[in-house]
């Protein structure tokens, strides 16, 4: 496929398959945007990223370097540190995808989506979120990250994940999903609870007393009802009281101390451990 597009004073051409083979997927808040076209301007490589089912598009700039064939490529390709896809929450929308880019996006990424499906037989072939995954995420898929995160906690009430909808993220020219560049994922308290001095009413954010979760801000589970990984620092601080570790030596759970976060050894010392030598890992016996 060969074409060029003159956009904002730069001439874009299709991102080659060789770039995609050596890139990684930079995850975060929002759906993954996939690399589709690139232009070189004064030694800088400008890459346009789009979503397979959306119309909006974002642009990211990377330092360029002359490749083996004489062309200029993103410097990160040499160390596989160039993001072939980026979460929408990390970028601001800049224009709409062109017809040529839409066609190339499908051809460029089709085989990689199939590879993900082979590894994820539990996911529906028509799942739009899967199409946006674009392959392996750095450090594992979004689902694996969520599994690794939630196995560290025993939350004593029904919960989920949600964002705080930003009006700027709903206006024309935005991604239209209520997100902004600095949007984080919060713990959605779905039922009222009281744990010592901490209490919240149903449908509120753990980080903010008296808050109310906007239905539009509720995050879709990663898979099988598993909520997304929480990234709000205040929520994470308050979740420390429900964090747990598992002692490999004796097989007992060493629960956290909400007044001394991370100090699990204080609740499971050599004197407390029947084996005499506590070896703690996060998340319980199934880790």
- Give the pLDDT score at 243: 80
Question: How far is residue 194's CA from residue 6's CA, in Å, rounded to a whole number?
Answer: 59
Which string of DSSP letters, residue by residue, matches 251-262? --EEE--TTSTT
Question: How far is residue 137's CA from residue 24's CA, in Å, rounded to a whole number?
Answer: 7
Name the pTM for this structure: 0.47
The tokens describing 272, both together, are 């407390």
Q: Tokens 């744990």 identify what position?
A: 195
Domains of the chain, by residue range, sit at: 5-133, 142-238, 243-282
Question: How open is the CA angle 20-25-29, to the nearest 5 degrees?
Answer: 145
pLDDT in tens, 53-102: 777 788 999 999 987 777 899 999 888 789 998 887 767 778 888 999 98
- Give the pLDDT score at 86: 87
SS3 state of residue 173: coil
Number of H helices and E strands in the chain, helices first, is 5, 17
Question: How open is the CA angle 64-67-73, to the nearest 5 degrees?
Answer: 35
Question: How far is residue 191's CA from residue 178's CA, in Å, rounded to a whole number?
Answer: 24
**Which residues of the chain register pLDDT less than 70?**
1, 29-30, 90, 111-142, 166-182, 223, 245-246, 248, 251-268, 280-287
- Give the pLDDT score at 136: 37
Would strands 56-66 and 72-74 be described as parallel, antiparallel, or unpaired? antiparallel
Conformational region of residue 56, where left means phi above 0, alpha means psi within -120 to 50, and beta covers everything else: beta
């Amino acid at each position: 496929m060969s074409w060029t597009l003159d956009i904002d004073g730069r001439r874009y051409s299709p991102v080659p398959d060789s770039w995609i083979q050596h890139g990684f997927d930079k995850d975060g808040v929002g759906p993954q945007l996939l690399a589709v076209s690139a232009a070189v301007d004064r030694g800088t490589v400008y890459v346009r990223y789009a979503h397979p089912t959306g119309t909006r598009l974002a642009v990211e700039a990377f330092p360029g370097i002359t490749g083996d064939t004489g062309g200029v490529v993103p410097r990160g390709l040499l160390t596989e540190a160039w993001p072939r896809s980026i979460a929408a929450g990390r970028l601001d929308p800049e224009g709409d995808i062109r017809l040529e880019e839409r066609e190339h996006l499908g051809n460029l990424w089709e085989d990689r989506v199939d590879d993900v499906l082979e590894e994820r037989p539990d996911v529906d072939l028509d799942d739009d979120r899967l199409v946006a995954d674009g392959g392996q995420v750095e450090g594992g898929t979004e689902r694996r990250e969520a599994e690794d995160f939630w196995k560290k906690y025993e939350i004593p009430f029904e919960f989920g994940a949600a964002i705080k909808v930003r009006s700027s993220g709903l206006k024309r020219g935005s991604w239209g999903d209520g997100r902004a560049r600095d949007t984080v994922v919060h713990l959605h308290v779905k039922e009222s609870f009281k744990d010592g001095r901490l209490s919240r009413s149903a449908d509120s954010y753990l980080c903010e007393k008296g808050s109310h979760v906007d239905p539009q801000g509720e995050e879709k589970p990663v898979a099988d009802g598993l909520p997304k990984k929480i990234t709000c620092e205040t929520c994470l601080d308050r979740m420390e009281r429900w964090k747990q570790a598992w002692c490999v030596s004796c097989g007992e759970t060493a629960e956290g101390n909400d007044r001394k976060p991370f100090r699990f050894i204080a609740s499971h010392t050599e004197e407390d451990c029947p084996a005499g030598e506590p070896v703690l890992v996060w998340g319980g016996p199934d880790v």
